[in-house]
């Protein structure tokens, strides 16, 4: 599916209030997953390499990067260390 087709489909789905509510409810998890993927990519590492550095499995790293689940602060810290980054948690005013 092309990018244009995906955007069109997303627009159609976002017209549904129930879908839109569920989409925004997951926004923070997707943002975290995206940041994890970016950190790993910037480090030039594969999921397997990050997993080895974290002393875990590649499937665990894949699950973290999928946005599924709710990783602990300790897990996020280990991921940051494995990718040569620093975990920063902050609060921002509501939009």
What pLDDT sits at residue 37? 97
Element (H, E) at 16: none
pLDDT cut 70: percent of the chain above it: 98
Distance CA 17, CA 4 (A): 22
With both helix axes pointing from N to C terminus, report the angle between 27-42 and 58-66 in degrees, rounded to the nearest 10: 130
Q: Which two tokens stand for residue 13?
A: 């789905």
What are the chain's domains?
3-82 (1.10.260.40)
What is the rounded distance in angstroms from the CA atom of residue 24 to the CA atom of residue 54?
30
Q: Quote the pLDDT of residue 68.
A: 82
User: pTM of this prediction?
Assistant: 0.75
């Amino acid at each position: 599916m092309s990018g244009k087709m995906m955007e069109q489909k997303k627009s159609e789905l976002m017209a549904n209030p129930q879908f839109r509510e569920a989409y925004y409810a997951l926004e923070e998890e997707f943002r975290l997953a995206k940041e994890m993927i970016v950190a790993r990519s910037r480090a030039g590492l594969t999921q397997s390499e990050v997993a080895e550095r974290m002393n875990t499995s590649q499937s665990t790293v894949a699950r973290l990067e999928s946005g599924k689940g709710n990783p602990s602060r300790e897990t996020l810290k280990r991921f940051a260390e494995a990718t040569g980054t620093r975990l920063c948690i902050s609060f921002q005013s509501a939009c």
